[in-house]
Amino acid sequence: MRFSYLTVLLAVTAFSCKNTNKSTDETATVADSTHTQLITNPITDGFYADPSIVEADGKFYIYATKDPWGKEDLAVLESSDFKNWELKSINWPTKEACTSPTSNGSMVWAPSVIKAQNGKYYMYVSVGSEVWAGVAESPLGPWKNAKEDNSPLIKGDLFPEYHMIDAEAFIDDDGQAYLYWGSGLNWVNGHCFVVKLKEDMITFDGEIKDVTPANYFEAPIMIKRDSTYYLMYSDGKVIEDTYKVRYATGDNPYGPFTEASNSPILSTETDSITYSPGHHTVFTKNGQDYILYHRHSANSPNSEDLLRELCVDSLNYTPEGLIKAVKPSGIAAFEE
């Protein structure tokens, strides 16, 4: 790799400047590798995708699709320091347990796990191209279908012209929960739907609304900062280098959502390492936001035999409230 005089000068400048606002930009902290231990990408061995994360009792739990293209169950990774991960097993969901008359042959994909106001954990997971809802008292379960009749929460034929997968729950500041979901078929026509949830986290409260923003394909996730709602999502083909993370903003959970002027904020990099990044989640630790996502591993560029790996980077904002472009570089290790 060639470095210019300007590159060196900028690096020295960044090294010498201390970051006084961690919630705005953690870049300087990450760059100072002399004094700070780093968490580098990929964060763990193995091929996983579509991550979701919760933190409970001093441990992190990542739920993810097993590559290639999903398996009979999910991957669950546990860590107390975000550096050393142990693969765990949970009893639900499985392809066998989550099959209905309207299911297709698709495997177990794209979990989303959230702790609800009632203290229980809820999972929304795609199996057979349908959304299933699970509930547990703790992150590792035991899990079970949250519906007493063991049926899917969202059947595959609800809106047959779209793909009923990639559900993500969001709980607003007032405690109200919402569920977002939706993808496209044959790499086109992705749509995003949202519905308000009742306290049981599985009963729809009102009508389903189509809130599709520009350039949307799949994998919606909602975050809120101050009074702005950020609908983040993925666009492009996951089997190619066109997969990327975009976002749109609105002033309420239903939008309308306008794609931001600097979207997308994470896409394939010329370094040939960050290839086809997307289907992410966002979490907060010590006042700093982070983006947890997958990218293609070096073993499967441009391949339909999909082998993806998990990555984490800082997620920062401009003074105007835009999400800054993500700089794939890993993060500073969390303080003990």
Write out the catalytic residue numbers: 50, 218
Does the N-terminal peptide bond of residue 93 adopt cis geometry, omega within 30 degrees of 0? yes
Q: Are 264 and 287 in contact (CB under 8 A)?
A: no
**Nearby residues of 48 by Cβ (< 8 Å), 6 or more positions away:** 62, 64, 65, 66, 67, 75, 77, 294, 308, 309, 310
Question: Among candidates 211, 246, 244, which has minimal Cα distance to 232?
Answer: 246
Structure tokens at 333: 């290790």
Q: Are 258 and 206 in contact (CB under 8 A)?
A: no
Burial of 148 (0-12, 13-18, 19+ CB in 10 A): exposed
d(CA 19, CA 24): 9
